[in-house]
Amino acid sequence: MLVHLSQTIGAHTAGLSGAADLLGFALTRALRLPLALPYAVRTFLLAWLTNAALKLAPAMGGPRLSVDENERDARGSFGTGRANARRRCASSAPAALEASAPRIYVDLTDVLCHAIWHDTCAGIPRVQLEIATRLFSMNPAVCLFGLHRKKWCELGALLKEADGDIDKAFALLKETFSDFKFSREGVRRLITRRRRRLPIPHHASMPDVKAQDSLFIGGAFWLNKGIADLCERTAANSANLIVLFHDLIPLSMPAFTGHDFSRQYREALRLPAHFVVTTELNRSELKRARREIDQSPARTCSSVVPLADEFPGSERNERAGLASPRLAILEGRDFVLCVGTIEIRKNHHALLGVWNELAEERGAALPKLVVAGRRGWKAEATLMQLEALAQGGPVVFIEAPTDDELRWLYASCLFTAFPSFFEGWGLPVGESFWFGKPCAASNSKSIAPVARDLCVSFSPHHREDMKEALQRLLNPSTRRLFQRRIEAAPLRRWSEVATDIETLIAERRPVSDPLTARAEVSPLESSAA
């Protein structure tokens, strides 16, 4: 039975779903097992059968699918895996880095964890992948890593395989690090992972970031004790520690977060790091937060690096391609787009209420409002409202859109709406510009750096103001006016963001004074209302 199964897997080079179906069938029929086995038993037996079949496949003429070094602990120093991966992946690969050469370590633990739990990459994890991908392609001294189950995993080969495709990089992270599940998709991922044989060295100990090296942290490292310990050791070694804070919301607006992260945030702000923020507002909030932690006149060293307008993998003003099956209902129809996780801070509730009012006034002449995003936190009432309006009403809900779907939505919409109360940056506003589409955006101070004078602005606290802004952009002549402004405006690419970060790493800019006070303090008041 295993021989037959191995031959079949070898024949299914492209048809992985067929192999998955066959595995499930073979398990129940060939071993004469009842279908109602407990889940744990079925999972164990299917995993065993799959591994056995994969090992037999080469002997029966199929491709080599065996377990490789990517599932074993690596020997040698952290970072040497990149040279090995490059030798496997490219004929023009550079020689292995000298042990004494300065290295740039880039942490992707936050992205790795996000990939395990989510199917699409958005928000801060996307920003991290964009920056890491470009740093990795620009500088051979870059070593990408993530902490998973107490193992420090080198991720360079994975991003090399993705070849600049952020969606593919995210999918590879999910495929490589997700637990096996007893399902067609679970078996497909297992077979594909073995087929790729990506060399992903695992290390029991954390990277040894020496004094001449740099460590760049771009995600929520303060939630992971292992990464927090690495930051402290890096600082103790007098290495170059650079930390990107996307926002100070857990301190400045804790009501908008799903959990109370204020203690972890304050601990992170104590580090002697060079802090990177995306706006001058975030820099002032950062300095204010550190003053609240330690009343002494400690020095805070920071740099502002604006994020990009570019939508990954798309040319500026790219036209819409083919719509996915679930977007087919929008083909040939006018619609307005709102992109963002459905959470209390994004203010969807007000937008939906205003759009419903417009539908009552304008009837069938009003375009659909398409809300595209994942389900978030503290938004139960909004989700109920959204689902009600999507039942034959003026709203369409596209949950957890892929990059290809977002690309089509941006390219096909009349304009976009962004009603958020507060942002670290506001990626959907710039992405709207990238496709040449005007945006009705909140006039929050936190969004102003990306909105510039290219938006019709409104107060997120006043529905009439929001309604007036939307009505302005429903007018074709007003849209054309803003489209001409957008066409004439310089827009920022992700390669520019990566270059700015690489520059400040190379310059080894001064680090902030460490803070010693650990006393709990009251949350900062918002300065962005």
Q: Which of 467, 522, 505, 443 is nearest to 132 (CA)?
A: 505
CB 49 within 8 A of CB 110: no
CB 527 within 8 A of CB 251: no
Clarify whether residues 300 and 228 are in a common domain.
Answer: yes
Q: What is the pLDDT of residue 61?
A: 40
Task: Identify which has the larger pLDDT, 262 or 6.
Answer: 262
Residue 463 lies in a domain: yes
Clarify whether residues 258 and 145 are in a common domain.
Answer: yes
Domain count for the chain, please give it.
2
Q: What is the pLDDT of residue 197?
A: 74
Task: Identify which has the larger pLDDT, 116 or 188.
Answer: 116
Domain span at residue 225?
104-304
Clarify whether residues 349 and 381 are in a common domain.
Answer: yes
Q: Is 459 exposed, middle or buried (0-12, 13-18, 19+ CB in 10 A)?
A: middle
pLDDT tens-digit profile of 368-397?
999 999 999 999 999 999 999 999 999 999
- Among 271, 304, 337, the domain-final residue is 304
Confidence band for 529, pLDDT divided at 50, 70 and 90: very low
**Mean of pLDDT values over 83-108:** 58
Clarify whether residues 184 and 222 are in a common domain.
Answer: yes
Q: What is the pLDDT of residue 259?
A: 86
Residue 65 lies in a domain: no
Q: What is the pLDDT of residue 7?
A: 42
3-state secondary structure of 109: helix
Residue 142 lies in a domain: yes
β-bridge mates for residue 320, sequence order: none
Q: Which residues touch 392 (CB under 8 Å, ≥6 apart)?
A: none
Clarify whether residues 292 and 339 are in a common domain.
Answer: no
Residue 285 lies in a domain: yes
pLDDT tens-digit profile of 449-503?
999 999 999 999 999 999 999 999 999 999 999 999 999 999 999 999 999 999 9
Residue 179 lies in a domain: yes
Compute the residue count for the chain.
Answer: 529
Clarify whether residues 407 and 289 are in a common domain.
Answer: no
Q: What is the CATH number of the domain that holds 413?
A: 3.40.50.2000
Clarify whether residues 210 and 280 are in a common domain.
Answer: yes
Q: Which residues touch 75 (CB under 8 Å, ≥6 apart)?
A: none
pLDDT tens-digit profile of 138-161?
999 999 999 999 999 999 999 999
Angle at 234 between CA 233 and CA 235, to 5 degrees: 90
Residue 462 tokens read as 């006043």
Residue 34 lies in a domain: no
CA distances from 381 to 254, 343, 344, 359, 386 (A): 19, 10, 10, 20, 9
pLDDT tens-digit profile of 503-514?
999 999 999 999
Task: Identify which has the larger pLDDT, 74 or 244.
Answer: 244
Phi, psi of 492 (to 5 degrees): -95, 140
What is the identity of the amino acid at 256? F
The mean-pLDDT minimum among 64-78, 179-193, 280-294 falls in 64-78
Phi, psi of 140 (to 5 degrees): -70, -10
Clarify whether residues 115 and 232 are in a common domain.
Answer: yes
Clarify whether residues 134 and 209 are in a common domain.
Answer: yes
Residue 26 lies in a domain: no
Q: What is the 3-state secondary structure (H, E, C) of 234-277?
A: HHHCCCEEEEECCCCHHHHCHHHCCCCCHHHHHHHHCCCCEEEE
Q: What is the pLDDT of residue 294?
A: 84
Residue 331 tokens read as 């083909």
Residue 22 lies in a domain: no
The percentage of the chain sitting over the pLDDT mark of 90, rounded to a whole number, equals 68
The mean-pLDDT minimum among 55-59, 121-125, 220-224, 431-435 falls in 55-59
β-bridge mates for residue 339, sequence order: 372
CA distance 432 to 417: 9
pLDDT tens-digit profile of 326-368?
999 999 999 999 999 999 999 999 999 999 999 999 999 999 9
**Mean of pLDDT values over 184-206:** 77
Clarify whether residues 284 and 335 are in a common domain.
Answer: no
CA distances from 127 to 48, 123, 167, 206 (A): 38, 7, 12, 24
Clarify whether residues 112 and 250 are in a common domain.
Answer: yes
Clarify whether residues 356 and 280 are in a common domain.
Answer: no
